[in-house]
Structure 1
């Protein structure tokens, strides 16, 4: 596959080539009203993308029943009508939740609506602007999880497609073979370790997982960290999904706004502290100090004046309730010293080059 010339239309079959509902169900073993896997999809104003996501769900070839639950958060661009169209064609598989009023603006996360409705033993996640690329994606992940009862999550590499630059690259590729990824690797990458559309995990302890980060501005990092802390994380080397970057209305596009970015850093500092308080009984939870310090650095570097920076530092560290402040400070100072050293070496090298010229 040529990543530079990735054609999304070639990755999933068109509607005319999709199997009918009867053909999909025919291959299933077991009761269709007791799905093995629940596919959860949150969408809002994804009219240009949602059909690709739905097609990628429907092309899954499995011997077990699955359900597709789509939460449309009062879209205004025609997304709702697209979801309704497919729900009418696949009424026993697709279960739409269509809101008249946007719930996210009221502080209600889509995932908190979707989780209670999931009947499957396993959960697979894909947002409305992403898609899957392999017909046996969830079948592979199901087999991997069934073979390892210690595993809490299974994921794979992905293709990241930049909607602005119209180019792709392979991301989250840890190995050429199936292997267990240590929790510290997932935690320290701050949510960039596992593409959301690659997540596949057991439908267990969901309430506790949601409560562990109820005040967080995003859920990906905390869900990934919780799953990594509570069991083994199995990695499959095949890229089986596309993550759209800078899609219209997406999180990555919103982060271009500096004011929103600053507020996001501040909220993440508080959320990681609260999350640590809820999961510090897990063996590897101490690794959460690293992403905490990352967001502290990002927040502090907004301030150019030393006095303003110091004031902001004391304000942020003083609100920490669960981390040991002196450990956070030590790590932060070490990180800042490293950055200053690199900058100093760079400046000296530039001056030396100019002198030689």
Structure 2
């Protein structure tokens, strides 16, 4: 089997059919399997998946859990079932564009020194179907990301790869790549772990080969409604950075990555007038005396005057 496409699902009755069909209907010159694991959905997600199973009996395999166990356990189940030479992940509410699988498999087949490959993704509003922005090229740190990156870039600069855009080579440590302590941000630790075990060169395909759906219950929307979720997301991100020490990543780089993520969280809270949380995280991000960039130093130096700082950052934009 050349490729396994892994799709976790939970309460996605409005989106799971479009997601699965977007991969099941792709034309390729290789064999691939699509494995979907439903985490005991309470809506009609399982019924939708079951219908598609009857239509694609040789390509779609479904696993139905009877107890909700969370994304980490769901992903462990999917990884255990995967038989492909290559692994692709697809969130159950995202969409693969028609040439995604062929394009990424061809890239890995013809670039032996590449271990993970990701593509550009179109972030779109689920209600209007309108593009909001490109995920990678419009990422705030994109200027720091080379066409071939490594685990060090992932730690230092963050989630510039959209979760559903990545394909990587299968390996003997696949079962060790799930970090069950992560509660909200799963993909960051997952891809850092895979990059570490593969000692990966991570290449970028600039073509838009997937669509990242934003809707009322998507991760970003839920997080925007809860500061607690944003803080938990940061803890997950910090954990992912810390776990990279097992791959020989130097402590100074891990500290720099964590400091940068705290700085990003500080700006998030500043923009939402959560000044106490801004102050908390800008001080945590700056306690080493090292700054990610000039913007970071400006934020720290003006941390006691948030309104002035907003004007300074606005003028510098």
The TM-score normalised by the length of structure 2 is 0.78
Residue 274 (structure 1) shift: 3.4
Q: Any conservation in 2 of the 1:45–1:249 contact (CA below 8 Å)?
A: no
Confirm or deny: 8 A CA contact 1:187 1:221 kept in the other structure.
Answer: no
SS at match of 2:208: coil
1:127 to 64, 68, 91: 91
Q: What do residues 89-132 of structure 1 show as CA deviations (whole Å, max 9, x unaligned)?
A: 1112111011122111xx85321110010001101111110011
Partner of 1:93: 59
Residues 1:329 and 2:285 are matched in the alignment? no
Distance 1:333 1:232 in 2: 24
Report the 3-state secondary structure (helix = DSSP H, G, I; strand = E; otherwise coil) of the residue aligned with 1:101: coil
RMSD: 3.6
Which residue of structure 2 lines up, in the alignment, with residue 11 of structure 1?
Answer: none
Deviation at 1:70, TM superposition (A): 0.3
The equivalences for 1:1-357 within 5 A come to 35-104=1-70, 108-134=72-98, 136-163=99-126, 167-168=130-131, 169-173=133-137, 179-191=147-159, 193-204=160-171, 205-210=173-178, 213-217=179-183, 218-229=185-196, 230-245=199-214, 247-255=215-223, 256-269=225-238, 271-272=239-240, 274-279=242-247, 281-282=248-249, 287-297=253-263, 298=265, 304=276, 309=280, 329-331=288-290, 337-341=297-301, 347=308
CA contact (8 A) 2:13 2:44 kept: yes
| CA distance in 2: counterparts of 1:138 and 1:348, whole angstroms | 45
Structure 1, unpaired ranges of 5+: 1-34, 318-326, 352-357
Superimposed CA distance per residue, residues 158-197 of structure 1 (whole angstroms, 9 cap, x where no aligned partner): 100133675312221379xx94235444333322x11111
Distance (Å, rounded) in 2 between the aligned partners of 1:304 and 1:132: 41
User: What secondary structure does 1:45 align onto?
Assistant: coil
| Cα distance, 1:349–1:76 mapped onto 2, change above 3 Å | closer
The alpha-carbon distance between structure 1 residues 260 and 342, as it changes in their structure 2 partners (threshold 3 A), is same
Could you tell me the TM-score, scaled by structure 1's length? 0.70
Counterpart secondary structure, 1:331: coil
SS of 2:207's partner is: coil
CA contact (8 A) 1:70 1:95 kept: yes
Output one character per residue of 1:128-175: Cα deviation in whole Å (capped at 9) or x when no partner: 1001112x3111111111222221101110100133675312221379
Worse-matched range after superposition: 69-78 or 223-232: 223-232
Alpha-carbon spacing, 1:88–1:73, altered in 2? closer, same or farther (3 Å): same
Seen in structure 2, the aligned counterparts of structure 1 residues 286 and 238 have a Cα distance that, compared at 3 Å, is farther
The structure whose Rg is larger is 1
